[in-house]
Every structure is written in structure tokens, then in C-alpha cells.
């Protein structure tokens, strides 16, 4: 550098320095409004809401702010959902997330204000009380899934010999979701016996999600304060002559955001066995953020092996919403039943769209290994009794597990009659476990037939339409022409007189006529 160059440089530096000082002064003058307007939301955030049982429900947000526009996603349990309509203006944050269920779509709105680096957030769910919480900055490691664990080589897990007929019992989720506790479970066990449900075959009292607490220093799963002593609860259920089920996930979090079995599969199986658990529902949930659908068989096999290793007979229920054609490999991982669909809700549209979509895979069920179109909604109030009779009849024809999902302690007589119809239960539990077939489909009417043991058949005449309809079955289609038939109506509990080649019945809207037909020898 020459002297002249150096002089010019130093004077330019002087000019630059002067400009900088002026800029900093003006920034300082404008500071308050400037800082508020420019607070950048870009990054990871966490919303922590106490669940009331000692846990926190964590929702992570990965946000990106450009000007006043906010984009990004919500990381909620197993799901990653894009946000839309995101804005951050004058310290006010707003965005919308669309949750898509089996049969409905819900738009959840998030509104918050920024105060001292935190966001006070209100979450508006349609038809529910708004949820308030504080959102704080978080780290990507906290929001992102943990590493994929090495998966075992595939092999066939030996059959555990359980569930020779579709499991029957009760599960807490449909009615109680997160509001289930020890006292309610004991109450269900009491009522299972006193109402007569246990006499007609209902056996399992299954606790679904939200029983979990944190892990102890040795990594053992604990129950949360809604379930002070799981072993004592299991003992109580057993003392009634019933069996008890529990729930977990191969992911780090369950679908409700509670502790899952990720990395503790064998340890949890041992814990469940030591408590006296007889049934495990194992729900994919956050495993979906770690593993791919192709990994499911190995992931489920791991728990299948772990359960067998405990030496305790434990029914193994796979819940991964019917992905990856689970009916083809469910038995190989030791599965006694596997969900074939997303979640059911207590309304006709949901039940109809699940129930009438099961026929193509009906032949995959066999003793010990069942398709599970999800738990019953009978008695929960969202459907008419005709619709609930359709629900029960369809599930029975499908040889589906019959897991009541209502509050057993408050059943109406009609709910009892539906759940405890022994003639319909007998169809479900038929020892031959033969699949049902559609023999005719005409607009909104469907005739479904299931061969039963000892020369009988169950025939369901369904009307999915909004008007009563005449539904017919041709005996020819069942190879019964000319045979002397004994026909029983399983809902009116009477004998039906039949003559000729066909039988027609008037079926109410969304209703069913369910027959048992026996060809006399
Ligand atoms: C999933 C399952 C449901 C229930 C909930 C619990 O949605 O499909 O049956 O177990 O998780 O969080």
C-alpha cells in the first residue's frame, strides 16, 4: 500500500465510521418500535400444556418468518402439519392448521402475542374450549425425532395361542380419551360383571393412551397419578375374573404425546408382564417420524418377540391404521389383531365408511389373527339405535374384535340389548372364522353373507340409504334353492317364515335385518 493509498483508505475509514455512528444513533432512537417489528420468529418453539396428571403435552412449531409472513409446520406427536395463513404483525401471531381425520377435516386456529421473548398462545379447536399456553424457544433436537434404532432380521414369531375367537371386552379411548383413571377402570370392571357383559363373553378391560408417566432412574416406565398402582389395579380386575389390557407405542411418544416404548421395548414388555397385563395395544404414532412403512414389520416383530419372552400370555394388538397391508404380515410378528383403518368416531358417516370397506380383506382373518376395524361406539350417543345395530351386525359378520367403547356404568337398556345380543355375538365368535362376502349390492343396499359352523349362514340385509328400503336375498345365490330352511331374525329374536326363491324385508334407514339361516338336512 502506498502512502496516498493509505491516506485515502484512512479517510474513507473515517467517513465510514462517521456514517456508522449516525446510523447507530438513529437506530437507538427508533429502538423500541424497531425491535418489536423485527422480532424474528424463525426457529423452533414449544408449547407446553399441563395434562393434569403430572405430564405436559408438548407441541413443537418450526416457524419461518419473512417480513410479516409466517410459514412452517406444527410437530404434534406423530404428525407434521403445515401451517397456513401465518402472519406476525405488531407483535400478534396468527396461523391455521388443518387436521384431517378419517371422515372429517378440522381447522384449528392459533393466536398469540409476543411478550418478552415468549408467545402467549390461544388454540381454538372447533366446538371445544380454547386452550391457553405459553410458547417458548426450543431447539431442533427437542423437536426432531430421535435416531432410527437398528431393526431385527425378519423371522416368524411363534403363535402365542391366544384369541382363538375375536377378542371381546372394553377399551377406554372412544368415550374417555385422556379422562380415564384407576377409579373409572375399576368401575368398568365392576359393571362388566354386574351387567352380565362378562357372562356373554366380554373379558378384557383395556386401558388406552394417557396412563403413562415418566421413566424412573433405571428406565422403567411408570404410570402417572391417574393410575397410582398398576399392579394393584390389574389384581383388582383379575379378582373379578376379567383380564386387563394396556397401551404403548414403538415411538418415543404415544399419539396423545405420552411416553412410548422406543428403545425400551423389552423392558416395557417385562414391566407389563410384572404388573399382570394380559393384552397390549401397540400404536404406531410417533414411530412414523422415525421409521418408514417398510420397517413396520420389523418394528412390530421386536415387541412381538419381547412379549413372548416374558412368558406371560399377552394378546398382541397392532395399531398402525391398516398401513403396509398389515393383514399380510400381522400374524408373522405375533399379532393377534391388527387395525385395518384410521380412527372410528361416533357418527354414521365414520362407522359406515369403515365398516363397509372391509370386505376385500375379510379372508385374512383366521383363529388367533383378526382384522380390527376399530372399537365399538355403541352407546356413545352419536348414532341412532338402528345405526348401532348396523355397527354391531357388521362387526359380527366381519369377525371383528368386539371392544365396547362406551361408559358401561351408564348404559341404557337399548345399549345393553345391542351389546349383549348373544345371537349376534355368536356370529362374531363363530369357531370356523370364515370370511363374509357381499352377494349383492344395489345402490345403497348391501347383502352380506358369512358361512357359519354346522351348515348355517349369517345373512345381513343392510340399508345405507336415507329412506327405508326393501332388501332381498336370493336363496339361489347361497346355493339354498329348494332346501328346507330354518330362518331366525337375530334382532327380533323370532322365526321368519320363508317360501319361494327369495326373502325380502323392509329395512329402516341406516338399519339392518340380520338372519341366521340353517339348511335342514
Ligand atoms: C390413535 C389410535 C386410537 C387411540 C389413540 C390414543 O389415534 O388409533 O385408537 O389409541 O391413538 O392416543
Note the pLDDT tens digit of each residue in 123-134: 999 988 999 989
**Long-range contacts of range 57-63, CB-CB < 8 Å, 24 or more positions apart?**
57/256, 57/257, 58/257, 59/257, 60/138, 60/142, 60/143, 61/135, 62/140, 62/143
Ligand 1, atom 8, residue with closest C-alpha: 343
Rounded-to-10 torsion of CA 5, 8, 13, 15: -170
**Residues taking part in catalysis:** 283, 343
The DSSP bridge partners found for residue 279 are: 245, 315
CA 1 to centroid of ligand 1, rounded, Å: 73
Instruction: State mean pLDDT over 213-236.
Output: 98
Give CA angle at 52 (51, 55), nearest 5°: 55
pLDDT for res 2: 33
CA 157 to centroid of ligand 1, rounded, Å: 25
Torsion angles phi and psi, residue 82, rounded to 5: -70, 145
Query: Which of 34-38, 189-193, 316-320, 440-444 is predicted least confidently?
Result: 34-38
Q: How confident is the model at residue 31 (pLDDT cuts 50, 70, 90)?
A: very low
Torsion angles phi and psi, residue 190, rounded to 5: -55, -50
pLDDT at 77 over 80: no
pLDDT for res 64: 96
pLDDT for res 520: 84
Query: Which of 434-438, 440-444, 466-470, 477-481 is predicted least confidently?
Result: 477-481
Ligand 1, atom 5, residue with closest C-alpha: 255
pLDDT in tens, 377-416: 999 999 999 999 999 999 999 999 999 999 999 999 999 9
pLDDT at 517 over 80: yes
pLDDT at 26 over 70: no
Ligand 1, atom 6, residue with closest C-alpha: 209
CB 275 within 8 A of CB 234: yes
pLDDT at 241 over 50: yes
CB 371 within 8 A of CB 362: yes
pLDDT for res 141: 87
Ligand 1, atom 11, residue with closest C-alpha: 255
Q: How confident is the model at residue 20 (pLDDT cuts 50, 70, 90)?
A: low
Instruction: State mean pLDDT over 319-331.
Output: 98
Instruction: State mean pLDDT over 77-92.
Output: 90
Distance CA 168, CA 164 (A): 11
Which atom of ligand 1 has the smallest separation from the CA of 342?
A: 8
Residue count of the chain, please give it.
Answer: 521
pLDDT above 70 coverage of the chain, percent: 92
Distance CA 139, CA 88 (A): 21
Q: How confident is the model at residue 105 (pLDDT cuts 50, 70, 90)?
A: confident
pLDDT at 147 over 50: yes
Torsion angles phi and psi, residue 187, rounded to 5: -60, -40
Q: How confident is the model at residue 204 (pLDDT cuts 50, 70, 90)?
A: very high
Q: How confident is the model at residue 76 (pLDDT cuts 50, 70, 90)?
A: confident
pLDDT for res 9: 30
Q: How confident is the model at residue 58 (pLDDT cuts 50, 70, 90)?
A: confident
What is the CA 378 to chain-centroid distance, rounded? 17
Q: How confident is the model at residue 36 (pLDDT cuts 50, 70, 90)?
A: very low
* Cα separations in angstroms, 48 against 83, 178, 287, 355: 19, 16, 21, 37
Please list every protein residue whose CB sits less than 6 Å from any atom of ligand 1.
173, 208-209, 254-256, 283, 319, 343
**Nearest of 475, 463, 462, 470 to residue 502 by alpha carbon:** 475
pLDDT for res 33: 43
> What single-letter DSSP state applies at residue 253?
B
CA 342 to centroid of ligand 1, rounded, Å: 9
pLDDT at 109 over 90: yes
Query: Which of 35-49, 191-205, 391-405 is predicted least confidently?
Result: 35-49
Distance CA 404, CA 227 (A): 21
Which atom of ligand 1 has the smallest separation from the CA of 319?
A: 8
C-alpha cell at 425: 355375538
Best mean pLDDT range from 67-76, 144-153, 311-320, 493-502: 311-320
pLDDT for res 78: 66
Mutate to test the pocket of ligand 1, among 255, 256, 260, 373 (most ligand atoms within 8 A of CB): 255
C-alpha cell at 103: 371422515
Ligand 1, atom 4, residue with closest C-alpha: 173
Distance CA 269, CA 235 (A): 18
Which atom of ligand 1 has the smallest separation from the CA of 247?
A: 10
CA 375 to centroid of ligand 1, rounded, Å: 10
pLDDT at 136 over 70: yes
pLDDT at 3 over 70: no
Instruction: State mean pLDDT over 478-501.
Output: 93
pLDDT in tens, 249-271: 999 999 999 999 999 999 999 99
Instruction: State mean pLDDT over 333-344.
Output: 98
Query: Which of 74-78, 159-163, 180-184, 264-268 is predicted least confidently?
Result: 74-78
pLDDT for res 39: 78
Q: Chain-wide mean pLDDT for the chain? A: 92
pLDDT for res 450: 98
pLDDT for res 400: 98
Which atom of ligand 1 has the smallest separation from the CA of 343?
A: 8
Instruction: State mean pLDDT over 491-519.
Output: 96
For 359, the 3-state DSSP assignment is helix
Count Cβ atoms below 10 Å from residue 302 Cβ, excluding itself: 21
Amino acid at each position: 500500500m502506498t502512502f496516498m493509498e493509505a491516506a485515502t483508505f484512512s479517510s474513507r475509514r473515517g467517513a465510514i465510521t462517521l456514517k456508522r455512528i449516525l446510523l447507530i444513533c438513529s437506530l437507538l432512537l427508533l429502538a423500541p418500535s424497531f425491535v418489536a417489528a423485527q422480532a424474528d420468529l424463525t426457529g423452533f418453539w414449544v408449547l407446553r400444556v399441563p395434562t393434569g396428571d403430572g405430564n405436559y403435552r408438548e407441541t413443537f412449531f418450526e416457524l419461518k418468518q419473512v417480513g410479516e409472513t409466517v410459514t412452517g409446520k406444527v410437530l404434534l406427536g406423530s404428525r407434521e402439519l403445515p401451517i397456513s395463513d401465518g402472519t406476525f404483525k405488531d407483535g400478534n401471531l396468527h396461523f391455521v392448521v388443518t387436521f384431517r381425520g378419517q371422515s372429517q377435516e378440522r381447522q384449528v386456529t392459533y393466536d398469540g402475542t409476543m411478550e418478552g421473548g415468549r408467545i402467549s398462545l390461544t388454540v381454538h379447536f372447533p366446538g371445544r374450549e380454547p386452550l391457553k399456553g405459553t410458547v417458548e424457544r426450543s431447539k431442533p433436537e427437542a423437536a426432531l425425532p430421535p435416531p432410527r434404532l437398528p431393526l431385527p432380521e425378519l423371522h416368524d414369531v411363534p403363535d402365542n395361542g391366544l384369541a382363538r375367537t375375536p377378542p371381546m371386552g372394553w377399551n377406554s379411548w372412544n368415550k374417555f380419551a385422556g379422562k380415564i383413571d384407576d377409579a373409572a377402570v375399576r368401575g368398568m370392571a365392576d359393571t362388566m360383571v354386574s351387567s352380565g357383559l362378562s357372562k356373554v363373553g366380554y373379558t378384557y378391560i383395556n386401558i388406552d393412551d394417557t396412563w403413562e408417566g415418566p421413566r424412573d432412574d433405571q428406565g422403567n416406565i411408570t404410570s402417572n397419578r391417574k393410575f397410582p398402582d398398576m399392579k394393584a389395579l390389574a389384581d383388582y380386575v383379575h379378582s373379578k375374573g376379567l383380564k386387563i389390557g394396556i397401551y404403548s407405542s414403538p415411538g418415543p411418544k404415544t399419539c396423545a404425546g405420552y411416553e412410548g416404548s422406543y428403545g425400551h421395548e423389552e423392558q416395557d414388555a417385562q414391566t407389563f408382564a410384572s404388573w399382570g397385563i394380559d393384552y397390549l395395544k401397540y400404536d404406531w404414532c410417533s414411530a412414523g417420524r422415525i421409521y418408514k412403512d417398510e420397517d413396520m414389520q420389523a418394528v412390530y416383530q421386536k415387541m412381538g418377540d419381547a412379549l413372548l419372552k416374558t412368558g406371560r400370555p399377552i394378546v398382541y394388538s397392532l395399531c398402525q391404521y391398516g398401513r403396509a397391508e398389515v393383514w399380510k404380515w400381522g400374524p408373522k410378528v405375533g399379532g393377534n389383531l391388527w387395525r385395518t383403518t384410521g380412527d372410528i368416531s361416533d357418527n354414521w358417516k365414520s362407522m359406515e365408511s369403515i365398516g363397509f370397506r372391509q370386505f376385500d380383506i375379510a379372508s385374512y382373518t383366521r383363529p388367533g389373527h383378526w382384522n380390527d376395524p376399530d372399537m365399538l361406539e355403541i352407546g356413545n350417543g352419536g348414532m341412532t339405535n338402528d345405526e348401532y345395530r348396523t355397527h354391531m351386525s357388521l362387526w359380527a359378520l366381519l369377525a371383528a374384535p368386539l371392544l365396547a367403547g362406551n361408559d358401561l356404568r351408564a348404559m341404557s337398556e337399548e345399549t345393553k340389548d345391542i351389546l349383549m345380543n348373544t345371537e349376534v355375538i355368536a356370529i362374531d365368535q363363530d369357531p370356523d372364522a370364515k370370511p363374509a362376502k357381499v352377494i349383492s349390492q344395489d345402490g345403497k343396499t348391501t347383502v352380506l353373507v358369512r358361512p357359519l359352523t354346522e351348515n348355517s349362514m349369517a345373512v345381513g340385509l343392510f340399508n345405507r340409504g336415507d329412506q327405508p328400503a326393501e332388501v332381498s336375498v336370493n336363496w339361489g345365490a347361497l346355493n339354498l334353492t329348494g332346501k328346507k330352511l330354518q330362518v331366525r331374525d337375530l334382532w327380533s329374536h323370532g322365526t321368519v317364515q320363508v317360501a319361494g326363491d327369495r326373502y325380502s324385508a323392509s329395512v329402516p334407514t341406516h338399519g339392518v335385518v340380520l338372519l341366521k339361516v340353517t339348511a335342514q338336512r
